[in-house]
Every structure is written in C-alpha cells, then in structure tokens.
Amino acid sequence: MKKNWKITFVLLAICCVSVIAAFIVGISGNPPGLLLCYLASVFLILAFVYSWRKLKNFVILLAGSITGFFLFVILHNAFYAFAEMTKGIIILTGLFEFLHAVFFIIATLVCPAGFLIGAAGSAAMSFKIGLTSTKMSRKTGLVFLGILCVAMIVAFFVFISYNYRS
C-alpha cells in the first residue's frame, strides 16, 4: 500500500502539538501532562505504521516493544551507574547522564506506545484474517490471537491504573 505523506505529517504535527501542550501544562506529577506525553508517543509511532496491513508487522512491533522495554530499562540503569562512577570526569558524566535520560524516555514513553499499537494492530488484523479465513484451524488460531492481544491491552491498562493509584 502506498504511504500518504500528508497523513504522516499531520500525525507528526499532532505529536509536536501534544509535546508542546504537555510542557505548557506541566509534566511532573500532573496526569494531564503525562497523558499528553503518552499521546505524543502514540502519534509518533502511528505516523510511521498507519499504513501497515500485515499481521506480521504488528506482531514484530509488539514483540520488539516488549523486548525493547526491558533492554532500555537495563541500559538506563547501566548508564546511570556509569554516570555515578565517573562523577569526577565532566565529559563522561555528561555523556552518560544524557544516555541514561534518553533510554529512560524510550523505555517509559516509546515502548509502551509501541506495545499498545502492536497489540491493537495484531488484534485487529488477526480478527480480520481469522473471520474471513475458510480453514477452521486457522480461523480458531487467529481469533484466539486476537483475543490474547485484547487481553494484553486490558492487562496493560489495569497495570497502569493500579500503579497510578499506589
């Protein structure tokens, strides 16, 4: 499918407006500001994946987001530790602090948005393919995959709401 660049630029513009609005509203301990940051990351990813029509692409995004989350959390902690160990060396400390901040943002904003888009796209594509399939085993497997992806989305929001209340 041919990509419509106007839609890409509109989604990127919405992302930029959401980031600006989040900084105007304030982010630190402010739920509307945090929600705007998450919306910005969702629109950032949607700008590049809205034209996908294959289940495989969404499953790869889903698996990559899950794996990336753990990888970037480990990298964030490692570079934070390196920054603490090199407190006396200004250049290294600055570099490690920059890297640990970048990996923190990727782990907390980009990976959850990729997870949600990957799970929603996987659910939609598996329901679409499963319900139009003629083989019963394929239909059952894909509908089960769709239900599993919807369950992962529900679990994600339950986890977020539970941790926000604590």
Q: Which pLDDT does position 165 carry in this prediction?
A: 63
Among 30, 33, 46, 37, residue whose Cα is nearest residue 16 = 37
Task: Please answer whether residues 19 and 37 qualify as being in contact, where contact means their C-beta atoms are separated by less than 8 angstroms.
Answer: yes
pLDDT higher than threshold 70 for residue 39: yes
- Decide: helix, strand or coil at residue 163: helix
Please report, for the chain, the start and end positions of each structural domain, with discontinuous segments joined by +. 1-51, 53-165
Asked which of 109-113, 121-125, 139-143 is least confident by mean pLDDT, the reply is: 139-143
Using a cut of 0.75, tell me whether the model's pTM lies above it.
Answer: yes
| Alpha-carbon span 160 to 130, nearest angstrom | 30
| Alpha-carbon span 26 to 80, nearest angstrom | 25
